[in-house]
Chain A
Amino acid sequence: MMNSPVQFEMQTILEGIPHPAMILDRAFRIVEMNRLLEALTGYEIGSVQGIFGELVVRSNTGNSRGQLYNRVVETGRPFSATGDVLDGSRRKIPVLYNIAPLEHHGSCNGLLVIVEDLSARGGDHFGTPTEIDTSDFIAQSPNMQKVMDMTSLLAHTDASVLITGETGTGKDKIAEIMHRESERARYPFIKVNCGALPVDLLESELFGHVKGAFTGATRNKQGMFKLADRGTLFLTEIGDMPLSLQVKLLSVLDDKKFIPVGGEQSIDVDTRIIAATHRPLRQQVVKGEFREDLFYRLNVLHLHLPPLRERLVDVELLLHHFLHYFNQRLGKSITGFSESAGRLLRGYLFPGNVRELRNIVEYCVNICNEKSIRQEHLPAFLFQAQAEVIEPDGREDQLTATAGPPEAVPIAAAKKHGGSWGAIERQMIVDMLTRHGGSRKLAAEELGWGRMKLWRRMKKYELL
């Protein structure tokens, strides 16, 4: 490069690559890396320059002791492998790990490593983009078709989008599709659940912090805003964001810059915001629980996802889609639903929407050892809820009118049981722990699980 008529700084070339990237020397030590790789690994270039690349970019792509690097040097040809990389926040990020030789006068003088983040395009499957793009939304109803049409239109703008809809309607999926269809698709898609963290942690998570900002801040941390630079930041459950942070968020949206917690210098970001909530934001504004100015800032474009009970035509499609999906995953060959089971499911309101439908099918496929799913393979709460429909409690007429089919189940009754297999399992764990006075060992024994499995489940259901 030094003898080239036009000379470039390596850093400027790396910054032009829309993925985390680094340049290694012939001994596979880091010479330079771009900001995206700094964000991914959590290390700044100054602290890792000269260190063996594999120790910093922690992948499982078979690069132990630099095997992949060696292979590229020996063959002189680029190589790609899929796998994951552990980021600075201890998360496994699915990646496509590309290594290309950098040659000078015919000999390999170094390597260019590009770590393409696949998480925003369903990276679990490690497929090609075309494969991932096809199987996202199962919807044929007219109102969902309108949503899909709107999604592709909204994807090509840079304005903020607010997605509303009940829980389980697919807000996250729509946000992912919108990012993937946008011009920002090659940059990160970062999701932050605003309702999952206390205010101080959320602030640090969003905006990052500098070393020493508070007890335990032993190093600089990049916030999600910076990680999503040039990409999309998806703020889910925005209605649960504390008021104090709403001010700071509004300021970032307006100024496109922010100051990390405990920091002094502002950082410029170019991030598109997609926000989602299942709460009625307008009512929250009236109650003073959500800032009016932020509401208008986020609500530039609005997309509402209809609940499953308003697109009953899709229920049949979804039932068969998930039946096929879980058949494959669990190695079963169930052909369909019996007439009575199908009738019961089609008449059910699915208060938890697609997520609940998916969980019910998963439950059925697990339980069923026959060729078709019959009534006895359905979760018990469906029948208990149905029994409550028959009780004359004054609510029946109203609910039947909403649902249409005579076997429809009231939303409240289903909600009592949590509306999903996950909720049932969670309740089962709580009951078992209560019965054994909180002893995880005894609870695990009675459930027939190992203690690790119980711990994992408790973590999944936020019982720890």
Chain B
Amino acid sequence: MNRKLLMTIQGNYVAPRFDLATEVLIADVCDGKLAGEPKTIIMDRPSDERLCRMILEGKITDVVCGGIDEMHYNFLNWKQIIVVDGVIADWRSALNMHQAGMLRQGQILLAGARQGGAA
């Protein structure tokens, strides 16, 4: 089954807030495997409205993010997009977990000892 994932990121981490994210990672996932290299888009300024538009126009099926406000969460749900929010992780781990179908809302994939300094 083909899925298209958008993840808001900040440096190496899943961005703590959807509305403040300026980097997004887009990946095509086919039968649980990455189809091609994920691409990163840098936005000139943060905007949750623009992100929503990008998600709809880009036919994204899954969104992985940190915090997202209720209104945009409900909007994306209404558009039948799967939103896994509240994730605290480095984006690679989040991507791997998502590919494996194991990423859950509010999941923390950072062990304190593993985390090296500021994001």
* Chain A positions near chain B (C-beta within 8 angstroms): 27-30, 42-43, 47-52, 54-56, 58, 60, 64-66, 69-70, 86, 88-92, 218-219, 452, 455-456, 459, 464
Task: Assess whether B68 is in contact with A55, with CB atoms less than 8 Å apart.
Answer: no
The 8 lowest CB-CB distance pairs between A and B, nearest first, are A50-B112, A86-B67, A58-B67, A90-B70, A58-B16, A66-B118, A58-B17, A219-B106
User: What chain A residues lie within 8 Å of B1 (beta carbons)?
Assistant: none
**Chain A residues near B104 (CB-CB < 8 A):** 218
> Which bracket fits the contact residues of B?
20 to 34
B102 interface residue per 8 A CB criterion: no
By the criterion CB–CB under 8 Å, are A27 and B118 in contact?
A: yes
Q: How far is the CA of A50 from the CA of B109 in the complex (A)?
A: 12
With A86-B67, A90-B67, A90-B70 as given contacts, are A50 and B113 in contact (CB-CB < 8 Å)? yes
**Residues in A neighbouring B115, C-beta threshold 8 A:** 29, 50-52
Cα A43 to Cα B88 in complex, Å, equals 11
Check B119–A54 contact: CB distance below 8 A.
yes
B residues with a Cβ closer than 8 A to A are: 10-11, 13, 16-17, 19-20, 49, 52, 66-71, 73-75, 78, 85-86, 88, 104-106, 108, 110-113, 115, 117-119
CA distance A42 to B49 in the complex (A): 25
In whole angstroms, what is the CA distance A219 to B86 when docked?
A: 11
Looking at chain A's contact residues, the main secondary structure is mixed
List, in ascending order, chain A residues with CB within 8 A of B66's CB: 55, 58
- For the complex, give the distance between the alpha carbons of A452 and B115 in Å: 39
CB pair A60–B19 under 8 Å, yes or no, is: yes
User: What residues on A are CB-neighbors of B119 within 8 Å?
Assistant: 52, 54-55, 65-66
Contacts of A54 in B (CB 8 A): 16, 119
Q: Chain A nearest CB: distance from B32 CB in Å?
A: 21
Interchain nearest-CB distance for A210 vs B (Å):
14
Contacts of A219 in B (CB 8 A): 105-106
B73 and A60: CB pair below 8 A? no
Residues on A with beta carbons closer than 8 Å to the beta carbon of B10: 64-65
Q: How far is the CA of A89 from the CA of B69 in the complex (A)?
A: 8
Q: A47-B108, A60-B17 are in contact. Are A42 and B117 (CB under 8 A)?
A: no
Q: List 6 A-B contacts (CB under 8 A).
A: A43-B106, A50-B111, A58-B16, A70-B118, A90-B68, A459-B74
Residue of A nearest to B72 (CB): A90
* Bound form: Cα–Cα A207–B74 in Å: 23
Please measure, in the bound complex, the distance between the C-alpha atom of A90 and the C-alpha atom of B105, giving whole angstroms: 12
* Known contacts A29-B115, A64-B10, A219-B106: A56-B69 contact under CB 8 Å: no
